[in-house]
Structure 1
Amino acid sequence: MRLLFFRKKGVCIGSCLAPILSDLFLAKIDRRLSPTLGQPTEGITIFRFVDDFMVFFNSTLDRFQDQCDDIVCILRSCLSPLVMTVELPVDGTIRFLDLKFVFRDNHTCWSYEPRAKKALLSFSSSHSKLIKRGIAKMCLNNALIISCSHLADASFKHQVSRLQTAGYPSHLIISVAEGLLRRAKGTQDRSTTVGSSAPNKENVAVIPYIHQVSHNLKKIAGRSNTRVLFSAPLKLGNLCKKTNPDKKISVVCPKKHTKPFIPCRTCVIYRIPLSCGRVYIGQTGRCINDRLREHSNKVGKSPPDGFLALHCLKCTCQPNFDKTVIVGKSSSEITRIVIEAEQIDYFGESCVSKTSLSLSKKELDYLRMC
């Protein structure tokens, strides 16, 4: 037996909406912070990666703690209801993501040093050699690419030590390091050759993204020193109704209706106005004109079939099928039933249909808040 569960709070793990909702929420926080953080001190710069913030500001030793307290107070008020933890520099160093910043008297250094204390994948594990080699390459490459020139050597040695602790043999580490060296030399030679013939120019091609095909084309183009970018077929801005209020949805109905009441749509929640002032609300996964035709055939028949036909028989009113309004659209039947129940409750006594699902007051308030 299949059971249906409704989440009443939060977002499901793995939901495709979670990243978008997170970006929208954090963008709202950014708007709160931008006009507010100019008050406690000047020269403030904020770096954010998802929900990790790093704040730089000009200060002196005697004023540093007071200014930190002011900035933290503002951040906590803007980030509410999120709970924020604070880290301050200790002995001239501070961690941010996978970086370790070291503050000197006249400059700042940084090196690759992951925050996680978890050890690397043991070389004795049952994973393939390709995965283990990829881990070694990631560690050594990040130590060289992410670290500054002053701390790259120390960061590289630290990653070698981590690999050796996890049981990676010396010949594998040396092989990966040699590959990185050859790649660095090849990139340098290629950039020198390209720079001498065509300085400040780069071959770029933009192609539509098709899984696997686009990646293969990108790999082939890379051999000719051509950079390939992928264009997304559907962007968030194109999907949002607020940014595209006049965008028309082109729907081609496979059926040729003898009498289409309204433009064809499928998987919709609809509202039929009645001549007595009341409304009928329903939902269908088929074409809306098929459902309206069924309603039209049932009205006036005896015995009445359905709430609409029963009301029209008692009230002697007529439904205006050609003025039917599309309330919502969803390919999920459960979603349509929930929206239908909310709309029926919203119209109350003015609605002649009955709900297929009973919603609590908190659930109704949440739906109307969204």
Structure 2
Amino acid sequence: MTNNDATLSIRGLTKEFVTPEGANFIALDGIDLDIVPGEFFIMLGPSGCGKTTLLRSIAGLEQATSGEIWLGEDRIDRLPPYLRQVNTVFQAYALFPHLTVRQNIAFGLEMEGKKASSAEVKNRIDEMLELVGLGDFGTRKPSQLSGGQQQRVALARALAKRPNVLLLDEPLSALDLKLRRGMQTELKRIQIESGITFVFVTHDQEEAMSMGDRIAVFNKGSIVQLGTPRELYSEPTNRFVAEFIGEMNFLTVTLDGGMVRTAGGNHIAAEAFLEPPTGVGTVTVGIRPEHLRVAEGGTFAGEIIASQYVGTDLRLCVRTGPEEEVWARVDANYTGPSSIGDRTALAVAPRSARVVRA
């Protein structure tokens, strides 16, 4: 098997912990997952959902209760961490403060225990420094680097060993917003240029959407949806995903012979739905704020109770009934009614509303 051509396969992986109170806690509940070679794969979810436990299980830092982990044709869950063809970049970069950048990168190569000439090691270090954009920083100590540069050194050290899979546990969480966004672009570039499979853990949906080829959304130890960023945003299969990926208005509606009536007494036309709901009863409908526009005679008429200018958008919250409020995102240059207390009406874009299951 050549480097980087192995699919990472998880089969029936379960991890149980015993809490201090003596209760059993299921951190992973029978995970099945295939991550293909060369993929930038994201594991996304709130704290305690199991994503980091899965990453640590792949790395060999946690022992699964049951299940299997395969890298290509090799079962690796029985192997110690140092024999697995994976490497990990943690939140804390763990650079050696007394070593230079070059020495930090060389450390991982030296720990492999394989014989390599000094020329081979030098060439590998040079290659990694260029890959992460630090070609002129090799003689500096970590204390002479910014947070983003330290993160790149940690990345170069991990990549220098040419793992089949690189595991990244929220490595950008300590960076400020502007630097984090810049590093998102850099990480994607590095992943594409190296061709190595990246498995990236985060709780930040914007981070996940901007980098991932595919995203697995975790909740309570299970994968609740797996898909591309576009699929997760446009076609959430349940309320948890719809809430976690972007913003969504949730409305309780009553169905009656093709009529869709909200709790606030507003009627949503059939053409507003991707798939018009049928039958009789009560369901939840989701509408993204950007799919609502200000329009005279629109579906949702009421009083503006919040107005937020956020640079690219103007966010308006309109109370449309005694217990019903909807948020809309309109163009920042909008000059119509936008102050608290103003009255306005919002229309739903065609084929944008959808029934959302629990």
Same fold (TM over 0.5): no
TM-score, normalised relative to structure 1: 0.19
Q: Which has the higher helix share?
A: 1
Q: Which has the higher strand share?
A: 2
With a CA cutoff of 8 Å and minimum separation of 6, indicate the structure with the bigger relative contact order. 2
TM-score, normalised relative to structure 2: 0.20
Report which of the two structures shows the higher radius of gyration computed on alpha carbons: 1
